[in-house]
Structure 1
Amino acid sequence: MINPVSPIHIPQVLIIDDEKYNIEFLKIVLTQSGYQVESARNGAEGRRKASKLRPDLILLDIMMPGESGFETCALLKQDQSVCEIPIIFLTALDDTKNIRRGLDAGAADFIAKPFEYREVLNRIRIHLKITFGDKFFFSGAKTSEQEAYPVPTAEKIEGICVFNGRDFEESQKSFCEGALISGGIESLLLLETLKPDSLLDREEIRKTLAVNSGPHFVPSESMRNIGLSLFGPGISKGKEHHAEAILAHIDRNNELATVVNSGGPPVIHQSGDTDFTFIEPQTAGMAATGLGLPPCSSFEFRRGDRLFLCTRSALAGFENIAEGIVHLQNGAAASSGVDLHTACEAMGKTVSAMAGRDKGQFAIIQG
């Protein structure tokens, strides 16, 4: 069992719209993605809530009775307590004149109705990253978020089972940590250092994962930031590219999975009893792409599907990694229909026995 962390900061979004349907739709989309959401039905109420709550971002409808969105935006920008909050207009108006008027009033962006939820999430994510980056850059902060905040812990994650070799804890080289982002959305990080004299600190890994998890991070960005924080050039001198990791991000609400494989063994996706897909390593190791985002693989992950992940050390007793993965695939096929925890324990022990090793880690994620 893993003890998952929660994101250190969960962004809050304020929706200002007079149409109840729009508010309810946006609340569902944003809440399922992990955001905190508040709402107001007119401009005056929205300004009061903005001053009280200080949200991270405001979604503002233009066409409202009484005080229009343009007027609300202009008034918010005159209030020093909330003037830095990015505002995205929600509008059916797409002509150049109204776009210019909105930008002149201080809006950061526009989203046209009817909404496409992926576009809404992407626009919000982009403007939150810009705002957070500006705040950090101009604040002159000398300490990292890892040092400033304790790591919040979350409830147990259902649908994930981890098998630990008896010797893995003593090595301080292999760790499996989870992050619960919201109900139905979680991430699992399987990390291993390959440098003989390099040991990992579990608390540092958990803090880094908590800082770089949340609805405003895509999986590739989380993996890049974690890699640079722990092993990047100039941060942990001498440790560059000496670690491998797999980050599996599961969105059960939309039956989607994203895997970022930075140098680890292939990840096995089982759909049905005999349908297997292999997600090969996409980069040489953690921090290998520097500030660039590492590639990832996104795919449908339906109820009953399984992902099988392991560290390189768990397969070290086999002649090669490919042989070990074949044994994992055979075990996955044989365990179809078996409950998650029984399958994980049986496969972990079998692979350890066949490999002649009792190190490393092995995990199953079930859809």
Structure 2
Amino acid sequence: MEHTVMGSQAGKAGPPRVLIVDDEAINIETLAWMLKDAGFEPLRAQSGPQGREIAARQQPDLVILDIMMPGESGFDTCASLTGDPATADIPIIFISGLDDVDNKVKGLRMGAVDYVTKPFAREEVIARVKIHIRLRRGMRALLDEQAAKLAQLRDAQQSILVTPQDLPEAKFAVRYVPVLEAGGDFYDVFPWTDTVMGYFVADISGHDLGASFVTSSLKALLRQNTGPLFTPVETLKNINSVLGSLLRDGKHLTAALACVNRRRGRLSLVSGGHPPPILVSPDGQASVLATDGDVLGVFPMVQFGYLERAVSPGDRLYLYTDGFIERFGPRAVGRDDGLAALVGHCRQAARLPLEAAVAAVAAAMAADGDRPQDDLVFMGIEV
């Protein structure tokens, strides 16, 4: 399984540091004296390139930036600082003799947080510096708090996900990658009976936190409606009845439920609007197990696709969510093309051990290195 942890930056010890970028030494020293007298640590740069280098290396709490400088103007420096991830969140105050509204608006639109005109008054400069450093630190504290809460949600959500080590007799491997700290995709693996193992993969529409909250209820709902008292179709119908009251704002759920009886060599598969599983034989022959079916959580009366077929030892079944085969934007990949690519990669990995095969297929499907646009689940099951 894989997840991403939001980073946080601890507050720096010592006085707040302010970088002054100005080509006039008299302006630098005047501002430096004002800042030091008020308890700040001034850093100095006499050009835009020098200021950018110091900002990236020293990570000041704030930058005071002159506009009119030879070569690289303050506007150019501001654009570079706000465009660099290493310095993008450092607040910038423009300080300039240009007092017209157009220049002030231009500076603020470029990402500066404030604008002070020359000649500047000590009290005004110090007051504005304090305000924006406090705002930045308050925002960081808020982001750190949000990151901590998301990490708790992520840990709680992932604690309910079964790992191959938890259930070795299920013979599965899985790759789980949420876009956010907690995702809207979900999977579960559990004994259906003494001879049948159940495998469930679901995708809740959207990948916001609202979707992720449903997953904690989904596991309990699934376990309450599986076992010898239910057929797989009845399981999904019962889940659909409850989801109608849980899901709001047009959200819905697609799901695939597979039951494998290794003793009898039988596979039962139910689909509720989910991408089709792929069955691969040990010699690399692949079948797409397409079944029609309604999505869950929208309609009170639903029909699900169902199939049953024989399977043999060594066969592999792959379940996945649509984020694994679809992509949007400049490198868009349609569902049909993505599915064809996935089938090809599953065939090529047929002779690898299951865990290595799942890792190889996942790596091949993400070969361009782009961050996933949607939550991902990719599960391999060996008969």
Compute the displacement of 1:228 (Å): 2.4
The alignment status of 1:249 with 2:264, answered yes or no, reads: no
8 A contact 1:241–1:284 mirrored in 2: no
* Residue 247 of structure 1: how far off its partner (Å): 1.0
Distance (Å, rounded) in 1 between the aligned partners of 2:225 and 2:254: 18
Give, as a single letter, the amino acid of the residue that structure 1 aligns with 2:227.
G
Q: In structure 2, the residue corresponding to 1:280 is in which secondary structure?
A: coil
Aligned to 2:171: 159
Evaluate the alpha carbon distance shift between residue 241 and residue 284 of structure 1 in structure 2; reply closer, same or farther with a 3 A threshold: farther
Does the CA contact (< 8 Å) of 2:320 and 2:378 recur in 1? yes
Distance in 1 (CA, whole Å) between partners of 2:344 and 2:308 is: 24
SS in structure 2 at match of 1:170: coil
Q: How does 1:166-177 map to 2 (within 5 A)?
A: 167-168=178-179, 170-177=181-188
Q: What residue number does 1:206 align with? A: 219
Output one character per residue of 1:134-166: Cα deviation in whole Å (capped at 9) or x when no partner.
xxxxxxxxxxxxxxxxx9x9844431111122x
C-alpha change, 1:242 and 1:209, in structure 2 (3 Å) is same
Quote how far apart the aligned CAs of 1:284 are: 3.5
Partner deviation per Cα, 1:164-222 (whole Å, 9 max, x = no partner): 22x34624211111221234411111111114654133331111111011012111111
- 1:179 is matched with 190
Q: 1:342 corresponds to which residue? A: 356
Match of 1:300 in 2: 310
Q: Deviations over 1:100-155 (max 9, x none)?
A: xxxxxxxxxxxxxxxxxxxxxxxxxxxxxxxxxxxxxxxxxxxxxxxxxxx9x984
Pair 155,188 (structure 1): closer, same or farther in 2 beyond 3 Å: same
Sequence identity (%):
20
Cα distance in 2 for residues equivalent to 1:306 and 1:237: 33
Checking the alignment, whether the CA contact within 8 Å between 2:183 and 2:207 is kept in structure 1 is: no
Once the two structures are TM-superposed, the CA of residue 227 in structure 1 deviates from its matched residue by 2.5
Count of paired positions = 214
Is the contact between residue 247 and residue 260 of structure 1 (CA under 8 Å) also seen in structure 2?
Answer: yes
Amino acid at match of 1:192: D
8 Å Cα contact 1:179/1:209 also seen in 2: no
* RMSD over equivalenced CA pairs, Å: 2.7
Mapped pair 1:267 → 2:280: no
Could you tell me which runs of 5 or more consecutive residues in structure 2 were left unpaired when the two chains were aligned.
Answer: 3-159
SS at match of 1:353: coil
Equivalence for 2:240: 227
**Structure 1 stretch 189-198 or stretch 307-316: which is displaced more?**
189-198
What is the match of residue 356 of structure 1?
Answer: 370
Q: Give the structure 1 partner of residue 109 of structure 2.
A: none
1:315 equivalent among 308, 314, 325: 325
- What secondary structure, in the 3-state scheme, does the structure 2 residue paired with 1:323 have? helix
Find the counterpart in structure 1 of residue 144 from structure 2.
none
Gaps of 5+ in 1: 3-150
Q: Is the 8 A contact 1:168 1:361 kept in 2?
A: no
Query: Normalising by the residue count of structure 2, what TM-score does the alignment of the two structures yield?
Result: 0.51
Displacement of 1:340: 0.6
For the residue of structure 2 that corresponds to 1:209, the secondary structure is helix
What is the alpha-carbon distance in structure 2 between the residues aligned to residue 246 and residue 177 of structure 1?
11
Cα distance, 1:221–1:243 mapped onto 2, change above 3 Å: same
Residue 356 of structure 1 and its aligned partner are, at CA, apart by 3.1
With over 3 angstroms needed to count, the CA separation of the structure-2 counterparts of 1:327 and 1:237, relative to structure 1, is: closer
Counterpart in 1 of 2:229? 216
Q: 1:157 to 1:226 in 2, by over 3 A?
A: farther
Q: Deviations over 1:291-319 (max 9, x none)?
A: 45523111112111111111012223251
- 1:1-367 aligned at under 5 Å gives the runs 155-165=167-177, 167-168=178-179, 170-195=181-206, 198-201=210-213, 202-229=215-242, 231-232=243-244, 235-236=245-246, 238=248, 242-287=252-297, 290-317=300-327, 318-354=332-368, 356-358=370-372, 359-367=375-383
Q: Does the CA contact (< 8 Å) of 2:204 and 2:251 recur in 1?
A: no
Q: Are the aligned partners of 1:314 and 1:362 in contact in 2 as well (CA < 8 Å)?
A: yes
Q: Is the 8 A contact 2:325 2:342 kept in 1?
A: no
Residue identity opposite 1:206 in structure 2: K
Q: Which amino acid aligns with 1:226?
A: I
Residues 331, 186 of structure 1: alpha-carbon distance in 2 compared, 3 angstrom cutoff: same
- Structure with greater Cα Rg: 2
The residue number in structure 1 matching 2:10 is none
Quickly say closer, same or farther: Cα 1:246–1:239, change in 2 above 3 A: farther
Which gives a bigger RCO, structure 1 or 2 (Cα 8 Å, sep 6+)? 1
Secondary structure in structure 2 of the residue aligned to 1:200: helix
Contact kept in structure 2, 1:310 and 1:363, CA below 8 Å: yes
